[in-house]
Structures are given as structure tokens and as C-alpha cells.
A and B are shown apart, each in its own frame.
Chain A
């Protein structure tokens, strides 16, 4: 009888040990309680050289650090480079790297690595950074920490330019070995080290203790999954399947009602109408301007975005250095004026027909715009471009078949870069491909003005005014990021340019 009792005691002891070990496991779990599950979108490529959308900056900057970075107001501040200085005429800029930097593969991140990484962006056959890096004519190094970029012409925008994908430094050891592997197995020196990636499914990243600002990163492990259906996001965060994600502005009340936290973060994204003034009947400037007055921007923000965002007439958000307050009233909604301008152009109500081109996700905006155009006598039909960035490119950007396309810019690190995309003669969103000499001269003046010059804001805003007045295209409103998070995640920092995770903590649900 004693033997079974001993066995029973042993079993009880084993069970207690198992519970205790499980407890230890839970303790370890709480240490890895700094795991953050982020529902966003996976990048088109983990390689900054081949990444094809601006939105990718939010995800690939998890694994790469750039030479400079943007602060909350999108002003260039030190990154991998602790400082920089220009030569007297603005044709060369030297970046001074922080000492002791390494990539996550252990190789040193020094001046030569920076040179090699930037040169790859300039020369690799499939590089999508060639245009941005065209301003750099040569790269030289001096010692391990100083790298000098020699410019084709004076350009004080380079520190801004290098704050995003363009300035993200990839390990030369990795791309020399196999450049084709970088899009799925990145090696950088960013806040996180890449651990695993399943395309269309999930990426797992762990904290990089060698990151120059590692002390600011409080998350040990970050799991990135794509969210495909906005209708499921709140439920996913509520259930704990995600810790942080994003929702449309009109779901904010529901998210709050579900006990979740919401951060409305101003962004550089501005929605816009790309008007192609080379297509009839938009060759008549009076018609183009009438359309600008016909659109009720506030109504679009209220109905589509649940009131989140600002109506703007320029491709920058309020609070950014390029934002020109004098444009606040430009093309303010005035249907009577629009009707009059159309009448002056010879169009009686119902005589003018127009096609509104839109992607499948913005269909509701197109329907609202259609009714607004009808209110001033324009017969608008909607053309929905099937999903896929290539179809949009063929229809709008490259094909230039769209008269009136509902589009948007996610912004660029350099305001000059953004102005070039939106209004430049070869700008992707300038479907008319026309730019006046006045606008190009104003843009050149910006490039020649140091970022810390007292008159820099005025020079930059003058270029914005020139672009707004010149362009047949027009801005509609800003599109802030609406992040929804579980209560166990601390508030997200408000950076205009992108999601950042400095200081964000993940604790127990409160």
C-alpha cells in the first residue's frame, strides 16, 4: 500500500513542478510580453532599392536605419549620421557617422559601407532610387566615419532626401553575396533585426540591440501581418489577434465603444484629383478651374473619413514647413462660381461630360464627387480601375488616359521631391506633364536655400504657391493615420512622415 502512496506523492510533486515550470514559462512570456502584433501591410520589397510604394517606408524602416531621419514635424535630424555639413556653394555635403555602428549581420557600418549602399541605389539595374539619387554625382570617403556626397548642382535638400528609403543603408556584405535575397531577407542596422518572413502572411522581427538608438525601443519582438479587410480590424484588436492596426476615420466611435484606444496621427498623405489638361474638354482652363470650385472638400472628409482630416488646397498638411496658409481659401467650394465659369466656357448645365477614374477602394468618394459635379451641371461617369498598382499606372500614370482621377500622395521626405512628383514636368501624378518655367525656377530656389536659412519657409511656400496656381490638378484634403490599439500598448508617437515605435511599450492590459 505504501508504494502506490509514494507514487501518488511523486505524481503530486511532478504536477506541482510542472505548474511551477509553467509559471516560469508564463514569466518568460511576460518578459516577451513586449511582443507587439501590428496589423498593417507587408512591403512590396524589403529592399529599399526595389521597394515600389511610398507606404513601404513604414515597414522597411523597421529593419533599416537611414543616414538622417525626420522628426515629428518632418524636419531632418541625425540618424546614422550624427551631423552633416555643406561646402560653401552647396555642391557637396559630408555626413559624419556615429562611431561603432554595425549591421545585424555583424559587419561594420562605416563610411565605405554607406558609399557602397548608396552606389547600389544609383547603379543596380532594377533600382527604383535612381531618380532620387541622380543629384549625387560622386561619393568619396575620408576615414571610417566621414562620407561626402558630391552633387551635380547646389542642393540643400539632400539631408531630407536621405531620411527615407533613399538613405536607408543595406549591409554591403549581404547584397554583395546575393542582392536578389535582400527583398525577402533584409540585413540593415535599424531598430529591429529581421527574423522570418512568409510572403502575404507574416514577418517577425526582434529588437536589434546594436541599433544606434536601441534604448528608445521598448519592444522586444514585432510581428507584422497584413490586414486585408477594414471591417475586421476592430474585432482583431479586441480579440488580441492584433495589438495595433489602423482603421478608417469613420470607425473611430466603434473602436472607442469596443474599449480600444485610438490615435489620430497627422500624416503627409494628401488626397488629390489628377486632372489631365491635355484631354478634351479639360484643355480649357476655365473648365478646369470650375471643377476645382465644384468640389466640396469638407463634405468628402465628413462623409468618407468621418470628419478626420483637413480640407487643403496644397499637397502638404497643416503644420509642415511647406504648408502655405495663404492658400487656405484657394478654390474654396463655390458651386455658383463653378456654374458661371462653365457657362463662360460655353457649357450649359448637362452639356459637359467627364469620366471620374478611381481605384476600387475609393469608390464611395467617386460617387460623392459624381453628385457634386452633377450639382454644377457636369455629367460624370465613374470608371473603376481594377485592383493592382500596375493597372492604375497603365490607366493614370503611364497611360495618362484619365481625365479626372481620384488619387493621393503619401508625401516624400523632401518637399522638393514631393512637389516634383505632384507638379513636376515628369512627375508621376502630373498627368498633364506640363510645368511652367516660373514653377521650376521656384523649385530651384528651394534647392539652393539651406534648410536652416531664415527664409527657407518663405522660399519653399512660394514654390508651393506656384505649383498650386499652375497645376490643373488640385488637392482635396489630408488623410491622417488612424491607429487603433489595445490598452496594453502605450500611445504611438506622432510623426508626420511615418509610423515610428520609439518609446512605445507593450504591457499588461489595463
Chain B
């Protein structure tokens, strides 16, 4: 964490994510109005003292809906990443340590997942299992699992053939012990970078799905759903789509920034010192 916070990108990303996390945790409590309460006499109203961000097409307070929607939007993204982590990391580690059959099967399954088109698969899953957020996130989790699988497997393969691991196996260490004590610590940094990066990606997918009305039951507010509604009333409330869009962009950008900071944090500073040292030596 110290290394992440050492760079400006990392600090800004963590700060943005912290604010978003606070919104997700306490947003519904901070909402000034009932996010579902309609006021048909005040539809598509501009910002006012009563409604800071105006009202939507049914006269609901936009600020309250954004705050209430932040929880669901973020939790959905986290849920999808959690599914992807389990379905990607576990088979990747097992494929390295449980022999060729497991390796072959897991590779083929992941290759199959990669060929599935995101939206079509998510629509099919919700049609099959019902139009709910859990079902949609299960679909998203399945689809991002190959990303975790590849990264984890790439990080675990060199470790599995390292001499100290072979020594541990010869010394009688169980596969579980080898995984836990020798492989997992080497894989964690790569998985952490992927988690941050795929969290951003899954937030975009969640927003896309809710934009299309998949995974949510009206009138539940989500950022993607609000964006879709606001775009229909672009002429009446031209600024309407910008607020949910800005929140999505900020969150995804912060996730990607965090991923960059996690990736670059350990290596960038020594690299810079070396350049400075080389320059000093040449002068």
C-alpha cells in the first residue's frame, strides 16, 4: 500500500475510490429524498435548492437516486469480480499443480469462455435464470474469469518449476502447503493488479447491462440505468447524462489508476534512481 501511495496516480486513485466507497456505504443514508418517490408535477426540473441535481422524467430527485444507485452499481461490480476471481484463480492454480488432464480441461473451458460475446451471454443468462442482478453478475464473473486464469497461470508456472518448490515437494510438503507457502505469495501481486483492472472493466459491463435494463428491476436506481434514462431526455435536460457518466468514468478510471500503481509501484522508483545514477555517472 505504501508503494501505491508513493505516486500521484496511486494517491488520486485511492482517494477517488475511497470517496466512491463511502458513497456506496452511506449514500442511501445521505440521500435528501426518497429516491423512488415520484413527483409528476415536477418532472425534468433543473437544479434547485430542493433538488440539487434536478429531477428525472418521473419527478424523482436525481441526487438521491445517484447516491442510492452507487451501492448497487459498485456491489454489482465487486460481485462480478469475486465470481471471476474464484472461477479464474482456482482453476489456474490447480492446472499448474494437478497434472495434464486438469490443465487441458481448464484451458479448453477458459478458451470457450473467451469466445462468448459479453452482452449476448449476459442476456442469455438472465433469460435462463431470471432478470436479476445476481444472475447478470454471475454471467459477468464467468466472462472475466479467463482474465484471472491467464494472469494467475502465467505467474504460477515459473514458480511451480522453481528449484525451491521442487525441494519443498521432495521434502514431503503437501500440494496445499506448496500452494499456500510458495506459489500464492508470488501470484498475489499479479492477481491484485488484475483485480483492480477487471473491477474497472466489470463496472463498465455492469453499467452497460443496466443501461440496457438487464439485471435490474425498475425502479431500482443504478448509474447505468440512470444514464440510459437521461439520454432519452437529452433535449429536456442536456446536462442530465453527465453526472452518472462522470461517476462511472471516475470510478473506472480510479480502478485502472490503482491497477497501474500496483503494477508500477514496486519497480518504477528503483528504475528512476538507476537512470539518475547513470546520468550522474556520465557527467
Contact = CB atoms under 8 A, between A and B. Distances in A.
Interface of A: 230-231, 234, 250-251, 254, 299, 302-303, 360, 363-364, 366-368, 370-371, 381-384, 386
A397 B214 CA distance: 22
Contact of B40 (A234, A299, A386): A299
Contact of A303 (B43, B123, B219): B43
Contact of B58 (A230, A231, A303, A383): A303
B46 interface: no
Interface of B: 38, 40, 43, 57-59, 123, 126-127, 131, 212-214, 217-219, 229, 231-236
B236 A254 contact: yes
A227 to B, nearest CB: 13
A327 to B, nearest CB: 25
Given A371-B58, A383-B217, A386-B214, 5 more contacts: A231-B231, A250-B233, A299-B40, A363-B218, A371-B38
B236 A250 contact: yes
A367 B59 CA distance: 11
7 contacts: A299-B40, A303-B58, A303-B59, A360-B213, A363-B213, A364-B58, A384-B213
Nearest to B229: A364
Q: Nearest 9 pairs between A and B by C-beta?
A: A254-B235, A382-B218, A367-B219, A231-B234, A303-B40, A371-B38, A360-B213, A367-B218, A363-B218
B58 A366 contact: no
Nearest to A250: B236
A3 to B, nearest CB: 63
Contacts of A250: 233, 236
A367 B35 CA distance: 13
Contacts of B231: 231
A272 B109 CA distance: 48
A381 B231 CA distance: 24
A381 B36 CA distance: 13
A304 to B, nearest CB: 8
Contacts of A366: 218
Contacts of A368: 38, 40, 58
A386 B127 contact: yes
A59 B219 CA distance: 35
B219 A382 contact: yes
A384 B40 contact: no
A119 B229 CA distance: 47
B219 A370 contact: yes
Contacts of B217: 381-384
B235 A251 contact: yes
A231 B227 CA distance: 13
Nearest to B126: A386
Contacts of B212: 360
A370 B213 CA distance: 17
A371 B126 CA distance: 26
Contacts of A254: 235-236
Contacts of B127: 386
A299 B43 CA distance: 12
A371 B40 CA distance: 11
Nearest to A304: B57
A234 B235 contact: yes
A299 B40 CA distance: 8
A367 B123 contact: no
Contacts of B232: 230-231
A378 B59 CA distance: 21
Nearest to B59: A303
A215 to B, nearest CB: 39
Nearest to A385: B131
Contacts of B131: 383-384, 386
A129 to B, nearest CB: 31
A466 B15 CA distance: 67
Contact of A386 (B43, B123, B235, B236): B123
A277 B5 CA distance: 63
Contacts of A367: 38, 58, 218-219
Contacts of B57: 303, 364
Highest count of chain B CB atoms <10 Å: which of A254, A302, A303, A368: A303
A303 B40 CA distance: 6
Nearest to B38: A371
Highest count of chain A CB atoms <10 Å: which of B218, B219, B232, B234: B218
A366 B38 CA distance: 12
A508 to B, nearest CB: 26
Nearest to B235: A254
Contacts of A231: 231-235
Highest count of chain A CB atoms <10 Å: which of B38, B231, B232, B235: B235
A103 to B, nearest CB: 42
A250 B229 CA distance: 14
Contacts of A363: 213, 218
A384 B218 contact: yes
A230 B214 CA distance: 20
A370 B58 CA distance: 12
Contacts of B236: 250-251, 254
B16 to A, nearest CB: 29
Highest count of chain B CB atoms <10 Å: which of A230, A364, A381, A384: A364
B129 to A, nearest CB: 13
A342 to B, nearest CB: 21
A230 B229 CA distance: 12
B6 to A, nearest CB: 45
Given A366-B218, A381-B217, A384-B131, A302 B40 contact: yes
B176 to A, nearest CB: 45
B81 to A, nearest CB: 25
Nearest to B57: A364
A460 to B, nearest CB: 35
A123 to B, nearest CB: 36
A363 B43 CA distance: 16
Nearest to B238: A254
Nearest to A251: B235
Contacts of A230: 232
B258 to A, nearest CB: 34
B225 to A, nearest CB: 9
B139 to A, nearest CB: 14
A371 B36 CA distance: 9
A114 to B, nearest CB: 45
